[in-house]
Amino acid sequence: MQSNSRLRHMILTIALALAPAPAFAIDQALLPRNLSPWGMFLGADVVVRTVMVGLALASLVTWTVWLAKTIELRRKGALALERTRALEGKLTLAEASARAGDVHDAVAQLIQSCAREAELSGGVLDDGLQERVALRLERVEAAMSRQIARGTGLLATIGATAPFVGLFGTVWGIMNSFVGISESHTTSLAVVAPGIAEALLATALGLVAAIPAVVIYNHLVRSIANYRALLGDASAQLMLLVSRQRDHREFRLARAAE
């Protein structure tokens, strides 16, 4: 009787030793130790890692453009406002051109273009001069608007494409997860979880790159619209200046004829 009990105990011990490990033990062995964003990045596939790096660079470009354009718009906007207010005084076109000098800011170029057209017209202030000045001012405004808007198109591109790039990384990561399931012949969570986590990280980075790009783009568009309005005010002041100078000259000619 005692020998039979010992035999059963030995058989049970051998069976437990040969039995497969519990599923939770396999899961704990296969799960990565570091599930932080940096750890998931290091453990990601080459394609997913490339997508993450590209999205990080896109985010860096977004904030760089924001900083550069904010500084540029504030500086040029303040200078344009100052020069536009100066045109509201009692100035002649020659005096305004002399004050502008050889600088190349937007309002100074408007003044110089206006003075150049008056010089080419031989000092004849008539309706034709006003039309030609208006055409010149319109061309200068368009050129300055294109110059100040340079770089904002990149923000629009990032805002539109970053979510799809992140989605590509997500699809690729999930596809690798299913490939891992197929190769391991198991549906264990330990096989599929790391790939899904990496895929979702790519999606998160896509949103992190896209959302600020869209917000900053809309903010810059409004700021550029305000800057264009300042240039429009400067052009209007120059047209008024030419008109006043023309009327004043006709008044003097009429008094001389009397």
120 in a structural domain: yes
Q: Give this prediction's pTM.
A: 0.74
Q: Is residue 206, in this structure, part of any structural domain at all? A: yes
The number of domains in the chain is 1
Helices (H) and strands (E) in the chain, counts: 9, 0
Residue 189 inside a domain? The answer is yes
28 within domain boundaries: no
Q: Is residue 185 part of a domain?
A: yes
pLDDT by residue (tens digit) across 152-209? 999 999 999 999 999 988 888 888 777 777 776 666 666 667 677 777 888 889 999 9
Note whether residue 42 is domain-resident.
no
Q: Is residue 135 part of a domain?
A: yes
pLDDT tens, 200-222? 888 889 999 999 999 999 999 99
Q: Report if residue 46 sits inside a domain.
A: no
- Token pair recorded at residue 234: 């400067």
Those residues whose C-beta lies under 8 Å from the C-beta of residue 241, and which sit 6 or more positions away, are 87, 91, 92, 93, 96
SS3 154: helix
What range defines the domain where residue 219 resides? 52-86+93-257
